[in-house]
Chains A and B, each alone.
Chain A
Amino acid sequence: DQQVKQNSPSLSVQEGRISILNCDYTNSMFDYFLWYKKYPAEGPTFLISISSIKDKNEDGRFTVFLNKSAKHLSLHIVPSQPGDSAVYFCAASARYTGANSKLTFGKGITLSVRP
């Protein structure tokens, strides 16, 4: 059973517009959520994270929103740029509940930003 779900495999947006990438989770023990970005032929790189005690975290053009009651988080990229075209993975951990540093990843979503 997949605990972190990214149900849309791909997303295409116009340069300058907003990209919204969605992620759902099922495990109530998850208390820390991360987004990773992956370019072809490279390893994933950390983008932004959010703790379960917050509902929003912003870093430049990237904002992550967390809705704990719905077990849903989303990554907003504004404005989108062609260099943002990559695969984005949502990940979750039970960091504050005694579990180890294990990350559970979603399947990823491929974002394409059209010039």
Chain B
Amino acid sequence: EAQVTQNPRYLITVTGKKLTVTCSQNMNHEYMSWYRQDPGLGLRQIYYSMNVEVTDKGDVPEGYKVSRKEKRNFPLILESPSPNQTSLYFCASTRTSGTGEQFFGPGTRLTVL
């Protein structure tokens, strides 16, 4: 089954404790992206990757890091989480030569105390 998976689905942590949210897709997509969803703000892009070893900032990259060492994986790293990073996070992927529809993972709800 074609899918984007994220882990963990739910996470409660404390300020300053480094964490990683994993994202994996099995569709051989070149493009992967991270979004956060906040009430009244919709979906905002954090980082994206056009292919292996190619990453770039989205609209709200502050406080986040990413890496793309393999085509299927695109982890999101919070080196020192803060309460304003409490949010619902989605990973998505698509083919760069495709019709533009992105496939989304199920989401990770993060709470930073």
Chain B binding site: helix, strand, loop or mixed by DSSP? strand
Are B41 and A107 closer than 8 Å at their CB atoms? yes
Number of interface residues of A (CB under 8 A): 25
Contact of B31 among A32, A34, A101 (CB under 8 A): A101
Contact of B94 among A42, A49, A101, A106 (CB under 8 A): A101
| 77-115 of chain A: CB within 8 A of chain B | 89, 91, 93, 95, 100-108
Residue among B4, B31, B33, B104 with most chain A CB within 10 A: B104
Are B107 and A41 closer than 8 Å at their CB atoms? yes
CB neighbours (8 Å) of A106 from chain B are 42
Closest A residue, CB atoms, query B38 = A107
Closest A residue, CB atoms, query B44 = A105
Q: Mark A39-69, 1 if CB is under 8 A from B, else 0.
A: 0011111100100000000000000000000
Question: Using a Cβ cutoff of 8 Å, how many contacts connect chains A and B?
Answer: 63
Q: Mark B69-86, 1 if CB is under 8 A from A, else 0.
A: 000000000000000000
Contact of A34 among B35, B40, B96, B101 (CB under 8 A): B101
Give the contact-size bracket for chain B: 20 to 34
CB neighbours (8 Å) of B22 from chain A are none
Task: Apart from A34-B100, A46-B103, A101-B31, list 14 A-B contacts with CB within 8 A.
Answer: A9-B40, A34-B101, A36-B104, A42-B106, A42-B107, A44-B90, A49-B99, A101-B50, A101-B94, A102-B48, A103-B45, A105-B43, A107-B41, A108-B42
Query: Whole-angstrom distance between the alpha carbons of A91 and B43 in the complex?
Result: 10
Query: Whole-angstrom distance between the alpha carbons of A93 and B40 in the complex?
Result: 21
CB neighbours (8 Å) of B13 from chain A are none
